[in-house]
Amino acid sequence: MEFSLAQFAPLVGTDFTVQTSHGPLILKLAEAVEYPRRGLPEHLRTPLSLIFDGPPGVVLAHDNYRIAHPGMGEHLLNMAPVMSSAGVPGGGPQYEILIA
């Protein structure tokens, strides 16, 4: 499946289910942005970054995960922890999926 910002932008603020070795985990899509193409050849897609907020107390490793959303179906995608919002009340780790 070819992903685009147009598909993910309306889903910002909604929950995605990530299948982990410890069972399903709910992540909220916090941000969806495209990076500038900066001379990429036309046959390559525009890089897309998806940032998710995770629950406090759980940190997932950089790995491939099955990620599902009612509006998108289920897909195997590579996700990495990128920052922590631990200083924010109720904040947990954040994760990025980069589609390029």
Q: Domain spans of the chain? A: 1-36+46-80
Instruction: Give the pLDDT confidence score for residue 86 in this predicted structure.
Output: 57
Instruction: Give the pLDDT confidence score for residue 57 in this predicted structure.
Output: 83
Question: 47 with 35: CB under 8 angstroms?
Answer: yes
Residue stretches of the chain with pLDDT short of 50: none
Euclidean distance between CA atoms 1 and 95, whole angstroms: 21
Instruction: Give the pLDDT confidence score for residue 1 in this predicted structure.
Output: 67
Residues whose CB is less than 8 angstroms from the CB of residue 45 and which lie 6 or more positions away in sequence, other chains included: 2, 99, 100
H-type alpha helices, 11-67: none
